[in-house]
Structure 1
Amino acid sequence: MRHIQVTIPIGKRETILDLLDDEGIDYVVTDESSSREYDAVVSFPVPTNAVEPVLDSLQDAGVDEESYTVVVDAETVISRKFEQLQNEHATESVEEEQISRQELLTRADELTPTFSVFFVMTLISAVVATVGLLLDSPAVVVGSMVIAPLIGPALSASIGTVTNDREVFLTGMKYQFTGVFGGIIAAAVFAWIFQALFLVPPGAEITELDEVAERIAPELLLLPVALGAGAAGILSLATGFSIAIVGVMIAAALVPPMAAAGVALAYGLPVAALGSTVLVLVNLLGVNLAGLLTLRYLGYRPGSWFEISTAQRQFFKQVAVLVGVIFLLSLFLTGVTYSSYQMSAFEQTTDEQAEDVLNDHEDLILLGTEVEVREEGLPFDASFDATGQIDLVIVEIGGPPGSYDPEIVAAIDERINQETTGDTDVQVRFVTTGGAEDTPATAPGADDDT
C-alpha cells in the first residue's frame, strides 16, 4: 500500500476532492499558506496497484508535474473505508502487487548510478571475473556478478520504451553497450598483464579450463537464460521482489562471457573471442527483449493519451529490431550447438568403432578416447564441418604386456578416418594393465604408456 501527498493548485480544490470522493478514497486536507500557487495539501492511502490510475486521474483534473506529489510506502493503514477500497482493487494476478508507472521510473533511476560509478564498477567486475576464469574458480566468478551494477541500465531501456521516455531509453542503452565493450577491453588488458607477469603458468591451455571453455563455445541453450533474466528483472522491479537476487542473474548472463571474450583476445584466440562476444550481445539483447515484452504484458503505458500511439510504434519497432538481430546472432549459436552435437556424436562413434575392433580380443579393453580439435573456420559458415576440424584422436587400450598388434592399430585408424572429412592423425596407445611392468611395443609415431 502507498501513502500519497498532493499539493492542490488554487481553484482545483473542489474538483480534486470530488474526484477522491468518487473513488471512495479516505483523505485528509490541510490548508496551504506557504505559497500563493497552491490552496491545500491532501493526503490519502491507496492500494499499490491503484497508485497509477489515481495519479493519472489527478493529472487530468489539473495536478500537473509542477505540483508537489509524494508517494511513500505505508506499512499499515487502519481504516474501514481503506479496506473497502483495497477489496475493490484486489485481484488474483500480479497486478495486485504491481507498482505505478511513476514508481517504476523512479526505481529504475535509483538502480542506475552515475555513469562514472557504473563504468568503474563494471570494469572491476570484469577484472574479478577474469581472475575467476583464469583460476577456474566458480566462487570468484559468482563474486564478480554480485558487484556488477547492470540491472538498472538493462531494465531502464525497456522502461523508457514503453513509457515513451526517450531520455531513460537512451541512458539505458548507452550504459549497457559502453559497459559491455569496456568490460571486454578491461578483461583483455588485465589478462595480458597477468600473462606477462607470469601470474598464469606459461603455456597454460585456457581452453581446457571449465569456466572458460563453456563460454568461448556458447550454445543456443544459453539464450533462455537471458530471456528469463530480463523477464524476472521486470517482474521483481514491478512487484517489489528482491531485485538484488535478479540483478545477479542478469550479471550472470553478461559478466562471465564478457570476461571470457577479453581472455580469448589476450591469448590470441580470435574465434573464441568472437564466440564469447556473440554470447554477450545475444544475452544483452535478450534481456532487453524479455523486459519489453514483460512490461507490455503488465500493461505499462505512457501517462498521456497522445503519447500512447507513439510508444506503441516505438515498441513494435524495437521488438522487431531486437528479434531480427537476435535471430542473426543466434545463427552463430546454432552453429556452435550443431558443432558440439557433431563432436559428441563423433566421440561416441569413435568409442563404438574401437570397441568393435577389440571385440575379437578378449584380453584387450578400451580405456578411453580423446579428441583434439584445431581452431579454424567459423561455426556459422555453411561449409563448416566439425569433424573436419579434428586434429588428433587418441585411443587408449589396456592389456597384458606384449599386446601390441599393428593390425589393431591399422583397423582403428581406418575406421576413425572413415568418420572424418579429412586425413585425421590417430594415435593408439597400449597401456599395460594388471600390474605388469613390461613395456609393450607401439606403432611408429604412436605413444605408449605403461
Structure 2
Amino acid sequence: MLHLRLITPADRTDAVVRLIEKTVGTTHLVVMPGAARNPSGDVVMCDVAREAGDELISALQELGLDVSGSIAVENIDLSLSKRAEKAEKEAPGEAADAVLWEHLTDATHEESTLSITYLAFITLATMIAACGVVLDNAILIVGAMAVGPEFGPLAGISTSVVQRRPRLALRSLIALLVGFAVAMAVTVLFSLFMDSLGLFTEAQLEADRPQTGFVYAPDAFSFVVAVLAGAAGTLSLTSAKSGALVGVAISVTTVPAAANAAVALSYGDTNQTVGSTEQLLLNLLGIILAGTLTLLAQKWLWSTQRRRQSNAA
C-alpha cells in the first residue's frame, strides 16, 4: 500500500476528494480543511493500493496539484486494516507488477546526479578494483562492484528513453561519462603512486590472472550477462526490491574494466587498455539496452492488463 499526503487549494479539494473516492483501490480518506499553511490550503490524505497508485498520481497531476499544491507519496510497510485488504483486492493487477513512473523518474534523477558523493564512490570503487586486478584478487573485484554507483545513471538513461525525458537523459549521461573519466584519471595517478611504493608492478599486470583476466577479454558472455543484469536491476527498481541491486552490481564488470584500463594505461599497455575499454562499453550498452526494453515491456504489459480489466468490467 501507498500513503498519499496532499495539499490542495480550497477550490480544488472537492474535485480531489471525488477523484480519490472513484479510484478503485483507495481507502482511509482523511480531509483536514485549512490545515496547510505553506502552501495554504486543505490537507487530504489517503491510502491506495500500489497497483492503483500510478493512475491516481497521474490524475492528480492533471488537476495541477503538483503545481498549486503538493503530492507526497510514502510506502506503507505495515497496515493492519480490513479496509486496506479490501482495497488491495479490488485494485486491478498485482502490486509487484505495478510501476510508479513518477517515483522511478525521481529516484533515477537523484541517483544520476553528478555530486561529490557520486564521484567519491565511483573513484573509490575503481581504485579498489585496481588493487584487485593487480593482485588478481576476486574478493576485491566483487567488493568494488558492490561499491560502484554506476547503475543509477544507467537506469536514468533507460527511464528517460521510455518516459521521453531528454533532460534526465543528458543528466545521466554526464554523470556516467564524467564519473568514469574522473575515476579512471585518479586511478591512473593511484597506480603510479602504488608503483612508486613498489606495491604495483608491471609484471603483476602482465602475469596470468585466472581470477581477473576476464576484465580485459570481452566476449559474447560479457554482453549476455550485462543484458541479464540490466533487466534484473530494472525490475528491482520498479518493484521496490532494492536488495536485488547488490546482485546486479556484482554480476557486471563495469568498474573492474575501468580500473584495469586505468592501470594498463599507467604502464602503457595498449592491448589491455583497449580490451578493458571494450569490456566497459559492452557492459554499459548491454545494461542500457536491457533496462530500456524491460521498462517498455512493463509499460506495455501493464497497460494491456488494465485495458482488459476495464473491458471486462
TM-score (norm 2): 0.85
Distance in 1 of aligned mates of 2:35 and 2:64 = 20
Map of 1:107 onto structure 2:
107
Contact 1:206 1:212 in 2 (8 A): no
Contact 2:258 2:277 in 1 (8 A): yes
Map of 2:246 onto structure 1:
245
**Change in CA separation of 1:44 and 1:258 when aligned onto 2, cut-off 3 Å:** same
Map of 1:158 onto structure 2:
158
- Measured after TM superposition, the shift of residue 97 of structure 1 is 4.6
With 77-86 and 123-132 compared, the bigger mean Cα shift is at 77-86
1:219-270 deviations in whole A, cap 9, x for unaligned?
Answer: 12210111112111111011111154145236x4201111111222223221
- Measured after TM superposition, the shift of residue 104 of structure 1 is 1.2
- Measured after TM superposition, the shift of residue 86 of structure 1 is 1.1
Distance in 2 of aligned mates of 1:203 and 1:23 = 67
Contact 1:162 1:295 in 2 (8 A): yes
Structure 1 residue identity aligned to 2:217: A
**SS of residue paired to 1:7:** strand
Map of 1:13 onto structure 2:
13
Structure 1 residue identity aligned to 2:277: T
Q: Counterparts in 2 of 1:342-353, with a 5 A limit? A: none
Distance in 1 of aligned mates of 2:237 and 2:38 = 38
- Measured after TM superposition, the shift of residue 163 of structure 1 is 2.0
Distance in 1 of aligned mates of 2:196 and 2:63 = 68
Taking only aligned residues, the RMSD between alpha carbons, in angstroms, comes to 2.5
Contact 2:126 2:255 in 1 (8 A): yes
With 281-290 and 143-152 compared, the bigger mean Cα shift is at 143-152
Contact 2:258 2:276 in 1 (8 A): yes
Q: 2:85 aligns with which of 83, 86, 89?
A: 83
Identical columns (%): 25
**SS of residue paired to 2:279:** helix
Contact 2:34 2:42 in 1 (8 A): yes
Map of 1:122 onto structure 2:
122
Gaps of 5+ in 2: 301-313
**Change in CA separation of 1:208 and 1:31 when aligned onto 2, cut-off 3 Å:** same
Q: Counterparts in 2 of 1:37-48, with a 5 A limit? A: 38-48=40-50
Distance in 2 of aligned mates of 1:281 and 1:202 = 25
Contact 1:212 1:260 in 2 (8 A): no
- Measured after TM superposition, the shift of residue 79 of structure 1 is 4.2
Gaps of 5+ in 1: 301-450
Distance in 1 of aligned mates of 2:44 and 2:204 = 69
**SS of residue paired to 2:68:** coil
Structure 1 residue identity aligned to 2:133: L
Q: 1:56 aligns with which of 55, 58, 77?
A: 58
Contact 2:31 2:43 in 1 (8 A): yes
- Measured after TM superposition, the shift of residue 145 of structure 1 is 1.7
Structure 2 residue identity aligned to 1:9: P
Q: Counterparts in 2 of 1:398-417, with a 5 A limit? A: none
Q: Counterparts in 2 of 1:184-263, with a 5 A limit? A: 184-200=184-200, 203-204=203-204, 206-241=206-241, 242-246=243-247, 248-249=249-250, 252-263=252-263
Contact 1:48 1:97 in 2 (8 A): no
Contact 1:236 1:246 in 2 (8 A): no
- Measured after TM superposition, the shift of residue 45 of structure 1 is 0.5
Distance in 1 of aligned mates of 2:36 and 2:214 = 64
With 283-292 and 142-151 compared, the bigger mean Cα shift is at 142-151
With 286-295 and 140-149 compared, the bigger mean Cα shift is at 140-149
Q: Counterparts in 2 of 1:130-149, with a 5 A limit? A: 130-149=130-149
- Measured after TM superposition, the shift of residue 202 of structure 1 is 6.5
Higher relative contact order (CA 8 A, sep 6+): 2
Larger Rg: 1
**Change in CA separation of 1:289 and 1:170 when aligned onto 2, cut-off 3 Å:** same
Map of 1:371 onto structure 2:
none
Structure 2 residue identity aligned to 1:60: E
- Measured after TM superposition, the shift of residue 173 of structure 1 is 0.7
**Change in CA separation of 1:80 and 1:200 when aligned onto 2, cut-off 3 Å:** closer
Map of 1:434 onto structure 2:
none
**SS of residue paired to 2:65:** coil
Q: In the comparison of the two structures, how many residue pairs are matched?
A: 297
Distance in 1 of aligned mates of 2:212 and 2:206 = 7
**SS of residue paired to 1:232:** helix
Contact 2:154 2:287 in 1 (8 A): yes
Contact 1:261 1:274 in 2 (8 A): yes
- Measured after TM superposition, the shift of residue 201 of structure 1 is 5.0
Contact 2:254 2:283 in 1 (8 A): yes
Q: Does 1:289 align with 2:289?
A: yes
Contact 2:158 2:292 in 1 (8 A): yes
Distance in 1 of aligned mates of 2:281 and 2:35 = 55
